[in-house]
Structure 1
Amino acid sequence: MNDTKSTIKSYWDRRSSTFDLSPGHTLSSKKEEDAWKALFLDKIGPGDKRVLDVGVGTGFLSIMLAEIGYSVVGVDLSEEMIKNARKKMDARGLKVRLEVGDAEALPFEDASFDGVVNRAVLWTLPNPKKALAEWKRVLKPGGTLCFFLHGPHSHGLSHRLTKQFTNLIILARERRNPWKSLYDSVDLPMGGGVESSVVIDLLKKAGYAGVRSDPLKEIGQMKSKNMPWYYRISSQKSMQYCYSCRKS
């Protein structure tokens, strides 16, 4: 493991204990949960599907995917994230295979999965192009890639000032330093969000078919509505997108 990957792994190992304290990392309501599940059924389809969750974290997507009835495998570079995800799976009686793995060098054979999913992973990677090629490699022909990513964050003066106030509250309530982010430690091409057109172009160049970029408006509104007030006032106002495509 090179120095960059070691830094990324160490960051997420540290964040694992407080990760779920951030409201955006957990479900805000049963209605939101139903919306996520409906989205996956639409994108991946019903039935006995084998789905890979890349960057599983504490299990946000994998839990819902397993409850739908998919056969789920989750990988993450962080062993501590895997441990927390496993506790959640065990508490719910869900059978999900979890293992440590690199999103840019997956430990699976070619054409192993009907679907590959992830949320907010591409921005954490030093080589997004390599990751997209890997995700395509492990997909079966006709398999679906479905992932979620925010657009660029706001950098206006008003937002920066409000964000500083919010960070003070986060420091006290979530027991983490919000000023110390991953992309302050390593050079990440997509750190801080990325324009939808850039992601679409990368997917097409990687050889995916049927590339779509859909604003995640409904789920975003549900999350925002149920977030603590100090998150709402400093909302980045950046849209989250659902990217979906197929391995032709």
Structure 2
Amino acid sequence: MTVPGAEQLLNLWERHHAAHPLRRALALLEAAWPQADALAWAQVPVGVRDAWLLRLFEELFGPQLRTVADCPRCGERLEADFLAADIRSREPAPPAQPLHWQGAGCSAAYRLPTTEDLLQAAAAGADAKRALLRRCIVQARQGRRTIAPEALPDDAAAGIADAMAAADPDADVRLGLSCPACGHAWRLGFDIVAYFWGELSDWARRTLAEVDRLARAYGWSEQEILRLSPTRRQLYLELLRA
């Protein structure tokens, strides 16, 4: 892993702030593991991608994460802190593929969805789930007859989707939450792609504000300020506040 420095991170954030969230994820991975470009990262299973993103997040921002949610029963706002280790299910290595599913009078060989699959399926709009299955099912059969993936009955399609999720658990992380006000317990989905970019955006804006203040006070260039360690930047900012 090559942990991006402050200047590289700011440049990445600026270039991709208007990009599709999945494109942002690929850019982050490419920056940290440049031996594989964005096209290569787009071909790995989603859960593997997210496990590597979580590892990069820890290197940049530490192991602590926080979520804010409203209780679906009483509306109470609650915050929950957790560690990256709490949601990491395994080492980021893809299972052997293709995988196989059987049920509801049908069978299928399939592979796990990738970022490229999600991007292409999203273009299908309301038919995104079926479009994703069409891309990921290698072969489908109903009884002894080979059929097109889109011809699978709804219950078979749902069964395959559930099997995909079970085979790639890091692609669908759920946090167990309990409301202190009413005692209601539920599971909340956690999206490392959105969370990572949100934290990166907050960091970028804080860093630019620090650069602005130090540049005004000392006449340093942005590049000179970003080359300072975070600790040294904070010490200079404390001197300005004194």
TM-score (norm 2): 0.22
Q: Which has the higher Rg, Structure 1 or Structure 2?
A: 2
User: TM-score, with normalisation over the residues of structure 1?
Assistant: 0.22
Structure in which a larger fraction of residues adopt helix: 2
Identify the structure with bigger relative contact order (alpha carbons < 8 Å, sequence gap 6+).
1
